[in-house]
Amino acid sequence: MRRAIVGQVAGVLVTLFGLLVLTFVIGRIMPVDPVRAMVGEDATREVYDTVYRQLGLDRPVWTQFFYYLWDVLHFDFGTSIRTGQPVLEDIKRVLPATIELATFAIILGASLGIGLGVAAAVNKDSWIDHLIRVVSLLGHSMPIFWTGMIGLLLFYAGLGWVGGSGRMSQFYIGLVPERTGFLLIDSAISGNWEVFRSALNHVILPASLLGYSSAAYITRMTRSFMLDQLGQEYVTTARVKGLSNHQTIWRHAFANIRVQLVTIVALAYGSLLEGAVLIETVFAWPGFGQYLTSNLLIGDMNAVMTCVLVVGVIFIGLNLISDLLYRVFDPRTR
């Protein structure tokens, strides 16, 4: 057990170091001049050279990487050109909005995807299976920005069932003190249920569209895993012994794919956290994806490099959580 823990910690440290190297390289090979982004196009050569030296770009590459590593270890990620604030503070401000959106989406996507995947596998080659496969194919194929615009046009502008862009109505901005950054939690803690209803009304549509997109992937994988298990001999034995169809499917076949589904859902959740750029743009959602996009367009490399690093850390953390859940769901891995 000790060797396993030491090995896992060593693996995480090596992965983090590789991520830092990759982030540093990305910051150097991007076709963006960080000095020009700071001083502007009209700056004189003297001003340009002064800022160039202040950023340490006149030093050798290995020296620059050492200073970058030192700053990261001290949680110093520089200052954003666009906001003028420390990048870490900006990310602390925008990340909860994306986590709130992605969490709603993965709950909807996993619930729908796992249920449809099992139903498709149990009813293989029937009309139910074909219908579910068509629905999942559509969800996987349609561009998320297109479904976002159609959703706003139909459910917001046309039917008025959901809220529009942003995290809540403009009327409620500033009424709830920010404690956790999660608007639903903050409004519930404050007891302001009007703001809570407004926030919930605004998150439903983008979360549902993201959830549908992830559900398409989870459905296909669940169906594939279940078909493999339903063809095993132990399933036939369970049915011969007289177990009901429900017990055979859920207590035996599904129990053996839970470990695989943990990985699938974790990766889908990570993809939602770092890939919600388009849906956040369509819905003017002030989250991590929109922050990354806006800073990338103006060449704010401090913000871009930190965002890339945060995405990598998120996936590493999700993989660690998956490993822990393996031990819960599969005693053989303990």
- The span from the CA of 199 to the CA of 189, in Å, is 14
pLDDT at 37: 64
Q: How confident is the model at residue 300 (pLDDT cuts 50, 70, 90)?
A: confident
Q: Is the pLDDT of residue 65 over 70?
A: yes
| CATH no., domain 89-284 | 1.10.3720.10
Look up residue 295 and give its two tokens: 């800073």
Q: What's the helix, strand, coil split of the chain in %, to 5?
A: 80, 0, 20
109 pLDDT more than 70: yes
**Mean pLDDT value across residues 193-218:** 87
pLDDT(214) > 80: yes
Task: Assign 254 a pLDDT band (cuts: 50, 70, 90).
Answer: confident
Phi/psi of residue 214, nearest 5 degrees: -75, -30
pLDDT, position 287: 83
Rounded CA separation 281/165 (Å)? 9
How would you classify residue 162: left for phi > 0, otherwise alpha for psi between -120 and 50, otherwise beta?
A: beta
- Three-state SS at 59: coil
The domain limits of the chain are 2-73, 89-284
The mean per-residue pLDDT over the stretch 237-253 comes to 79
What average pLDDT does range 93-117 have in this prediction? 89
Tell me which amino acid residue 94 is: V
Residue 54 pLDDT > 80, yes or no? no
Q: Which pair of structure tokens corresponds to residue 225?
A: 């895993």
Contacts of 151 (CB under 8 A, 6+ apart): 205, 206, 208, 209
* pTM, entire model: 0.81
Residues forming a β-bridge with 79: 86
pLDDT above 70 (res 20): yes
Asked if residue 134 lies in contact with residue 223, where contact means CB atoms within 8 angstroms, the answer is no
**Tens of pLDDT, residues 263-275:** 888 888 888 876 6
Q: Where are the beta strands (DSSP E) in the chain?
A: none
Neighbour tally for 39: CB within 10 Å: 16
> Which DSSP string corresponds to 100-147?
HHHHHHHHHHHHHHHHHHHHHHHTTTSHHHHHHHHHHHHHHHS-HHHH
CA distance 312 to 316: 6
